[in-house]
Structure 1
Amino acid sequence: MRGQRCYDTPVMSIKKGEIVELDIRALAFGGRGIGRKDGFVVFVRNTAVGDRVRARVFKKRKGFGEAEIVEILSPSPDRVEPPCPYSGYCGGCQWQHIRYERQIHYKREHVLEALSRIGGIHGVTVHPTIPSSRTFGYRNKMEFSFSDRRWFLPHQLDGKGRGEYFALGLHVPGVFYKVIDVEACLLQGRRGNELLGRVRDFAESSGLPVYGLKTHRGFWRYLVLRHSDALDQWMVN
């Protein structure tokens, strides 16, 4: 009937900038937690199923919102302390704060959901994910970016004047011009991190400018490290 409210559609009562309390009930593809406020879906990064959080809404769309954690009111039993100091800020890893056995459980759930909900394929057997013997140091290729505007983490702001115009590392998720200066990445092995440090020292002392992600000028732009397990050799490009 014209003019009648559709009660199947949640009323979007939240506003951008509002802080809401959410219970995280599921993980979306890509790693964001899913909570609901009065039936309205809110995606929250760096959460785990079972978390109860206070989160600030920074984006609102017709069918969903996105928020960032302000406070973890009650942590999930799946939650662990990430071993990487850049976890939660860097785009390289999404689930370091979740126990590994639960990570592979949710990956299987995402395959099932993709087959049934997106593909319309039902009744398919998806076997449990086979765990890796190495949860870190397994990558044989890493790509890093240079930037003339280092993105500082909250605990680094006091020393912002040091190294402010040089970064070699990984991007903040979804923002191409924010590069975190990464001293070591746990996804690659010890030798890879040694090479990362040597390239950083060489580039800083070379006198050549690093690439500006907004000005599109500069010499040092990308670093690719690739390792051959068969030959135990490294390529630095």
Structure 2
Amino acid sequence: MAGDAPTRLVKGAVAEGEVRALHRDGDARGVVGGHAARVRGGVPGDRGAFRVLHAGRNAVWVAPEALSEPSPDRVVPPCPVVDRCGGCPWQMVALPAQRAARRALLADALGDLEVGELRDTVTFDDALAYRTRALMMARRVKRRLVFGFFEPRTDELVPVDACAVQHPTLNTALARARAVLDESG
């Protein structure tokens, strides 16, 4: 891959590449078809074929199509809509790798501020059911109120009845709110 001439990338094309790092915006970063790319659903260490989602003048977005070498840090995400929902872009990354990436991003953001040594972060043991705040969108579809999250870079609502990372109390409140609002018309 290194040193190969860049392949012309167009939406829908498939090209070989690799994922190199997680980024603070949620997408991973890599090189696909010889181009720097934002990799939706990528895990550092992934190698294989990637489908081009968008190829613009300033940025290329891709998603894994067929991984010949999945990253050792790749896990099966617990959420059934993770590939469409924009809420938890790192669910396919093993928890220790997520934590290491967050720490590296923080150290990079602090840069030369001389804040001293970063201490270990206090975290939940589990990557699920920890969020105690949610910002969900709602739309009425065929007389029923549908809650969910926007698909990344769109205004397409991804319906969600319950969210795996939200605290159970929030999921219960969501179900109750939906029932009350549906009854009120």
Q: Do the structures match in fold with TM over 0.5?
A: yes
Equivalent pair of 1:185/1:193 in contact (CA under 8 Å) = yes
Rounded Cα–Cα distance in structure 2 between residues aligned with 1:106 and 1:200: 36
2:156 aligned partner: 178
2:19 aligned partner: 24
Equivalent pair of 1:40/1:63 in contact (CA under 8 Å) = no
Secondary structure of the equivalent of 2:134?
strand
1:203 aligned partner: 181
TM-aligned CA deviation for residue 144 of structure 1: 1.7
Residues 38, 72 of structure 1: alpha-carbon distance in 2 compared, 3 angstrom cutoff? closer
Please state if 1:147 is matched with 2:126.
no
Secondary structure of the equivalent of 2:96?
helix
TM-aligned CA deviation for residue 123 of structure 1: 9.4
Residues 145, 62 of structure 1: alpha-carbon distance in 2 compared, 3 angstrom cutoff? closer
1:77 aligned partner: 72
TM-aligned CA deviation for residue 126 of structure 1: 3.1
Equivalent pair of 1:51/1:75 in contact (CA under 8 Å) = yes
- The percentage of counterpart residues that share the same residue type is 27
Please state if 1:67 is matched with 2:83.
no
Q: 2:42 aligns with which of 36, 43, 47?
A: 47
Larger of the two Rg values belongs to structure: 1
Residues 206, 164 of structure 1: alpha-carbon distance in 2 compared, 3 angstrom cutoff? closer
- Tell me how many residue pairs correspond in the alignment: 181
Q: 2:122 aligns with which of 113, 116, 130?
A: 130
Rounded Cα–Cα distance in structure 2 between residues aligned with 1:36 and 1:74: 15
Give the 5 Å matches for 1:80-91: 80-91=75-86
1:229 aligned partner: none
Rounded Cα–Cα distance in structure 1 between residues aligned with 2:9 and 2:144: 36
Rounded Cα–Cα distance in structure 2 between residues aligned with 1:45 and 1:35: 10
TM-aligned CA deviation for residue 30 of structure 1: 1.9
Structure 1 gap ranges (5+): 1-9, 150-162, 208-237
Equivalent pair of 1:105/1:129 in contact (CA under 8 Å) = no
TM-aligned CA deviation for residue 124 of structure 1: 5.5
Residues 104, 165 of structure 1: alpha-carbon distance in 2 compared, 3 angstrom cutoff? same
Equivalent pair of 1:105/1:128 in contact (CA under 8 Å) = no
Secondary structure of the equivalent of 1:95?
coil
Rounded Cα–Cα distance in structure 1 between residues aligned with 2:144 and 2:65: 29
TM-aligned CA deviation for residue 52 of structure 1: 1.3
Structure 2 gap ranges (5+): none
Equivalent pair of 1:27/1:33 in contact (CA under 8 Å) = yes
Equivalent pair of 2:9/2:33 in contact (CA under 8 Å) = no
1:3 aligned partner: none
Residues 191, 28 of structure 1: alpha-carbon distance in 2 compared, 3 angstrom cutoff? closer
Rounded Cα–Cα distance in structure 1 between residues aligned with 2:139 and 2:67: 33
TM-aligned CA deviation for residue 192 of structure 1: 2.2
Q: What is the TM-score with the length of structure 1 in the denominator?
A: 0.66
Rounded Cα–Cα distance in structure 1 between residues aligned with 2:126 and 2:7: 45
